[in-house]
Structure 1
Amino acid sequence: MSEKTIALVTGANKGIGYEIAAGLGALGWSIGVGARDGERMAEAVAKLRAAGTDAFAVPLDVTDDASVDAAARLIEERTGRLDVLVNNAGIAGGWPEAPSTLDPATVRRLVETNVIGVIRVTNAMLPLLRRSAHPRIVNQSSHVGSLTLQTIPEVDLGGISGGYAPTKTYLNAVTIQYAKELSGTGILINNACPGYVATDLNGFSGTQTPEQGAAIAIHLATLPDGGPTGQLFDDNGVVPW
């Protein structure tokens, strides 16, 4: 087994995911670059390696059982375990998006990636995480998934989001259940709110850079033993569910 800390970051070929991979790689970790676009994945791995990161490609479509199973086998054969899983891959719907005009097919597509994809990858990687001395799981969530913030009139979360925002609420709820199940195992699982980051998810309209958005996920990936679990965080601390 590798003596380095081993992390898998999904959706790591660009944006926040790439910067999470770069930030963890700068710590001397070995980073699996998970992505479904082979060309972009290869470019990201090459760029990370050029910067000194021990990066390796992990072909991964979070919506496909066979792809996720193959990714788990690849990591097992290469490293024998996994120390950190960052479930970063996600997609966005329209914005603003009234629930009364939603196409059910859009909802299914969003849930399949943003929720079921996280469950699928997490469950496939859990056997490898259980072999780690300091296992961590970080799920990429959002302030828009907070029911508390959504129901405070003076909090501006960018308008109505009938499709995307509820998938993050669902993800938050699932994370709580994982935390309950994994209590006492040493596996810490938390959700990260990167903030309003300029990425292709929002047409690059965000006010923060991907590097800034990656900071909270990197922090949660490097929590000490006995750290918090089952919570939602941004750069300022705990975010209410």
Structure 2
Amino acid sequence: MAHDKQVALVTGGNRGIGYELVKQLALKGFQIILTSRDPKRGHEAAQKLKEFNLDVSVVEMDVNNQESIHQAAMTINERYGRLDVLINNAGVYLEENKKLVALDPSILERTMATNFFGAYHVIRSFIPLMEKQGYGRIINISSEYGAMSDLSYPGVGAYKLSKFALNGLTQLVAAEISGDIKINAVDPGWVSSDMGGPSAPRTPRQAAELILLLATTGPEGPNGGFFRDGKQIPW
């Protein structure tokens, strides 16, 4: 079934920044796929958006499960035959206030599984859909905690390493892709969400607006960059 509308997929789209991204992309006329590990939460979020007459569908996908990602990619290929925008937003913050070497290793492993390998497997599974049409925009939601300069300060080691690896992945994929396909990383800032807590200064809506600039950038737009507040920042 051919679709004229551009298709966008947001992982972890049922709350926080992900939910705002889904909403704003839909308002811009995209056909949206909201993926959620928990289908019930995904459908609840989609129901809220349908009240605004927005075109949102839900696909169950657990980024920690390669088979689940593969199934979702097949479903989307069958249903839409294309993918124009992919936003890797699903992430975890499981930190305990301990030195990295004193941390329970499972915390580092679980953090890497979602924040790094999750994004890697999603990109690997969905890039063929973009290559098919020679167009795509991939945005990895990263953090300034993943910046090289932040690694010389102690604390939040598992989270920092996961975002540092995600930033490296962004640069490597950017160097390897061809056609009008672009991949960039964004630090959304400190956002009031389940992860950021209530005292964060930035709303999910503000964060989403800046991220969407990269989702709709033209062929002359950046590839392999790290952005905050709409400006490129050092890795």
TM-score tier (shorter): over 0.9
214-223 or 162-171, which moves further after superposition?
Answer: 214-223
- Rate the CA distance shift 1:22–1:92 in 2: closer, same or farther, 3 A: same
- Rate the CA distance shift 1:236–1:129 in 2: closer, same or farther, 3 A: closer
- The percentage of counterpart residues that share the same residue type is 38
Other-structure match for 1:170: 165
Equivalent residues of 2:39, 2:59 under 8 A apart = no
Give distance in 1, aligned partners of 2:5 and 2:195. Answer: 32
Q: How many Å apart are 1:36 and its aligned residue?
A: 0.7
Give distance in 1, aligned partners of 2:9 and 2:77. Answer: 12
Other-structure match for 1:99: 100
Structure 1: gaps spanning 5 or more residues: 154-158
Other-structure match for 2:206: 212
- Rate the CA distance shift 1:225–1:236 in 2: closer, same or farther, 3 A: closer
Q: How many Å apart are 1:133 and its aligned residue?
A: 5.1
Structure 2: gaps spanning 5 or more residues: none
Other-structure match for 2:175: 180
Are 2:16 and 1:15 aligned?
A: yes
Other-structure match for 1:76: 77
Runs of 4+ in 1 over 4 A off after TM superposition: none
Q: How many Å apart are 1:32 and its aligned residue?
A: 0.2
Other-structure match for 1:60: 61
129-138 or 100-109, which moves further after superposition?
Answer: 129-138
TM-score, normalised on structure 1?
0.92
Letter in 1 for 2:187: C
Q: How many Å apart are 1:75 and its aligned residue?
A: 0.6
Q: How many Å apart are 1:211 and its aligned residue?
A: 1.0
Letter in 2 for 1:63: N
Other-structure match for 2:155: 160
Secondary structure at the aligned position of 2:86 is classed as strand
- Rate the CA distance shift 1:28–1:236 in 2: closer, same or farther, 3 A: closer
User: After superposition, where does 1:91-170 map in structure 2 within 5 Å?
Assistant: 91-94=92-95, 96-132=97-133, 134-151=135-152, 160-170=155-165
Q: How many Å apart are 1:118 and its aligned residue?
A: 0.4
Equivalent residues of 1:29, 1:53 under 8 A apart = no
Q: 1:195 aligns with which of 186, 189, 205?
A: 189
Secondary structure at the aligned position of 1:130 is classed as helix
- CA deviations 1:185-229 (Å, max 9, x no partner) are 211000011000011113334221111121222111111112110
- CA deviations 1:121-168 (Å, max 9, x no partner) are 1111011111335310000001111113555x8xxxxx7211111110
Q: How many Å apart are 1:236 and its aligned residue?
A: 4.3
TM-score, normalised on structure 2?
0.95
- Rate the CA distance shift 1:67–1:77 in 2: closer, same or farther, 3 A: same
Secondary structure at the aligned position of 2:185 is classed as strand
RMSD: 1.5
Are 2:231 and 1:232 aligned?
A: no
Give distance in 2, aligned partners of 1:69 and 1:164. Answer: 26
Letter in 1 for 2:100: P
Secondary structure at the aligned position of 1:139 is classed as strand
Give distance in 2, aligned partners of 1:99 and 1:2. Answer: 48
